[in-house]
Amino acid sequence: MSPAPAQHVTAPVQDPFNGPSAAPRYATPIIAHLDMDCFFAQIEQKRRAELAGLPVVVGADPHHGHGRGVVCTANYEARRFGIKSAMPISKAYALCPAAMFLPVDYRHYSAVSRHIFSIAGAFCKTERTGIDEGYLDLGACRDFEEGQSVAFDIKKAILEKTGLTCSIGIAWNKRIAKIASEMQKPDGLTVIRSHELEAKIWPLAADKMPGIGPHTKSRLERIGIKSIGQIAQSKPRFLAESLGAWGLGLYAAAWGSGSAELGGFWQPKSISRETTFGQDTDDWVALRVTLDELSRRVHADAVSENAFFRTVGVKVRFANFETHTHARTIKTTQALDRIKATVKALMQPALESSRKIRLVGVRLSGLTDATGQTRLEQFYSNP
């Protein structure tokens, strides 16, 4: 982790929504990306001192190697065994059966996330983009050195008030800042200036660029491109012919183009819960009990977030992995009985099909706050 500059005095705070009061804006944008380190697992280690130094995996129950869900988060001790997010939980168990496997406590993690961004909000304007990450506007800083100092102060405040570490990347736009935040994990602080683009960003693998997933990575490899630098050195017309308009976007991104505007609040688009059964089942009673429990859990999440909803959806995966989703729009509500009734109606054809089911899920979307406005996260409420 980069050391803090010798001295820094934080500007006075006007309010947590607008950051330091009367702060001047400078010509060069300075944007930071804050990323919590293996967030769920780190929280669990903080809650339970006996987990210190042990491999921790948060996700589905492994059922002694026969579980059928996935890993949500693994700490660095677990990652040494090759365990990764989204890995089948059975494979994670096979790699490290001695790991501590813990269930997801989303409601607690969400409360901790809000607290973390309220801490950061005392220093600058923030944009939370997920439960464990977001952007910081450091444009009131005179230069990158001062921005680094403020970022160090934010990291220190988060650690002191929550006991959790984060990694921060600083650059001139959000995309490069996000790449930078991954470079020195965990507990890292990385600064990338525009003149360092070729030396520090171009050598990276193409999929380090936000927005390049496995599918785009494969398409790039088929045309001989494996690094960000190779994207930058390709002819725009070639990329457009190979990838369409997205190719031109990648070309601009590889040359350092990107937004420096923060969007304000994180707006979750949906709340969902799902369960993978230990064995495929066509037991109507067990399925209905499970669906009722999932309905209660998404309802509790909605109440916790003060979110109303207007669409209820279900997900069903049959034994052959055939997956279906169905949804119904209803009158905006926060009532549990409306969730249960809608879920029952949507799932009835699957329950009557006599086919064995592997997974079921319940989802709420079309979220609004109590006034009917599009749902905005309450960053600055106490967790």
Active site residues: 133
- For 109, list phi and psi in degrees, rounded to 5: -65, -40
* DSSP three-state, residue 367: coil
Helix (H) or strand (E) holding 327: strand 323-333
Beta-carbon contacts of residue 195 (< 8 Å; ≥ 6 apart): none
* DSSP three-state, residue 262: coil
Q: Residue 256 to residues 199, 229, 261, 311: CA-CA distances in angstroms? A: 12, 11, 15, 39
> Could you tell me where the DSSP H helices lie in the chain?
39-47, 76-79, 89-95, 106-121, 144-162, 174-181, 214-222, 228-233, 236-243, 245-254, 284-304, 336-351
Return the closest-CA partner of residue 2 out of 147, 195, 203, 204: 147
Q: Are 316 and 324 in contact (CB under 8 A)?
A: yes
Return the closest-CA partner of residue 166 out of 112, 125, 211, 203: 112
Quick one: residue 199, left, alpha or beta (phi over 0 = left, psi -120 to 50 = alpha)? alpha
Helix (H) or strand (E) holding 191: strand 189-191
User: DSSP letters of 128-151?
Assistant: EEETTEEEEE-TTSSSHHHHHHHH
Return the closest-CA partner of residue 154 out of 73, 266, 28, 33: 33
* DSSP three-state, residue 236: helix
Helix (H) or strand (E) holding 223: none
